[in-house]
Amino acid sequence: MVVLIYQNHLHIYSSPSPPSLLKTKSSLGSSLYCSMASTSDWKSNLLEFPHLSTTHRNLMLDLFSSVDAHLGPHLLPSATPPDVAFFEDEQRTSQGSLDIRLGQNDSAIDFILGSWLHCKLPSASASINITTLSAFLKSTTDAPHLLLEFIQSSPNSLILLMDLLPRKDLVLHPDYLHTFYQDTQLEKQRQTLDKLQEAQPYFSSSLYIRSILSPTAMVVNIKCDNMEEIVRDHVGVVAKELLRIWLESCGGKREIGEFEREILVRRDDLVKRKTLEIDLASNMPRLFGTEIAGRLVSEIQKAFSA
């Protein structure tokens, strides 16, 4: 799940206390608001977020800083080529940045992907800004992947896609549902956003995208005149809490049988392949042309197959 561009505009064994990804629960909360200094291994273009409001930009920096603070020792330095770390179309009306950091050999992290896109829409001065932070795990664990995506088509409209993407059928594995979605109280976070007067449910035009989300996925469209306040007091709080839950509950190696691992690998590969087909391969050429889109897709494919 890389950039879920919405087509309406563009188009293990269970454990009650799963091990922390890197740190103990007590140490996580104190560093969620760490400074930008800890993000030195991310490409500088990614951390600029030049087209976001101050509040939204600060939120993204907080999220990336938190990931770096907890996962930095378990991630390789960024090796993203310069023409992928920053790119723009010939008219210089659409720009973007993509950075991918692979996990160390002994880490449960497959890779972490961050990106921002700024695209002018056909309608006059309108534009769309998409910021993404996603994390994929290796087959040494069946814990959920992470997705945080913010899609803003105007100062008064913000679509959120925030979820721990399940890697097992939740009907066949109720213990998985209990461990990662019920015990973590993700439903409470979903309801926090759902109860906002300014929030409405959002339905992706892709049925496939809808099918891979969890029951506690936070997929809403917020429309209001006080977006800075909503992002600061509500969206940001929930996004940081979701990230904290993922860092605490989805790390470490889990005991998985060989047959179970084979199914997990096939499922992960299919999700990655369909994401490229449905999302990037179909949308990016229209936004940035075939040459730039080809570079981006190629770099993401490398991460998918690493």
Name which of 44-58, 120-134, 184-198, 212-226 the model is least confident about.
Answer: 120-134
pLDDT (0 to 100) of residue 277: 81
- Whether 15 is covered by a domain: the verdict is no
Nearest to 222 by CA among 253, 196, 248: 196
pLDDT in tens, 98-118: 999 999 998 999 999 999 999
pLDDT score recorded for residue 40:
64
* Cα-based distances in Å from 304 to 104, 112, 275: 15, 11, 11
Other C-beta atoms closer than 10 Å to the C-beta of 108 total 22
Specify if 148 maps to a domain.
Answer: yes
Residue 13: φ, ψ to 5°? -85, 150
**Percentage of residues in the chain having pLDDT higher than 70:** 85
What's the CA gap between 167 and 20, in Å, rounded? Answer: 19
Taking the C-alpha atoms of residue 287 and residue 274, their distance in angstroms, rounded to an integer, is 19
Residue 252 has pLDDT above 70, yes or no: no
CATH number of 85's domain: 3.40.1500.20
> According to the model, what pLDDT value does residue 198 have?
95
Choose between 32 and 215: higher pLDDT: 215
Q: Are strands 145-154 and 157-165 parallel, antiparallel or unpaired?
A: antiparallel
Residue 225 has what pLDDT?
95
Q: Does residue 20 belong to any structural domain of this protein?
A: no
Rounded to 5°, the CA angle 160-133-229 comes to: 45
Q: Is the pLDDT of residue 9 over 50?
A: no
pLDDT in tens, 140-161: 999 999 999 999 989 999 999 9
Looking at residue 251, its pLDDT comes to 67
Range of the domain at 162: 25-305
Give which of 117, 163, 134, 88 is closest to 10, Cα–Cα. 117
Q: Is residue 220 part of a domain?
A: yes
User: Sheet holding 109-120: strands in order across?
Assistant: 87-88, 95-102, 109-120, 127-137, 145-154, 157-165, 218-223, 199-201
The predicted pLDDT at position 22 comes to 38
Q: How far is CA 14 from CA 178, 180, 183, in A?
A: 9, 9, 11
Q: Is residue 182 part of a domain?
A: yes
Give domain status of residue 173, yes or no: yes
> 5 in a domain, yes or no?
no
Q: Per the structure, how many domains does the chain have?
A: 1
Task: Give 43's Cβ-side CA count (13 Å radius).
Answer: 24
Residue 4 belongs to some domain of the structure: no
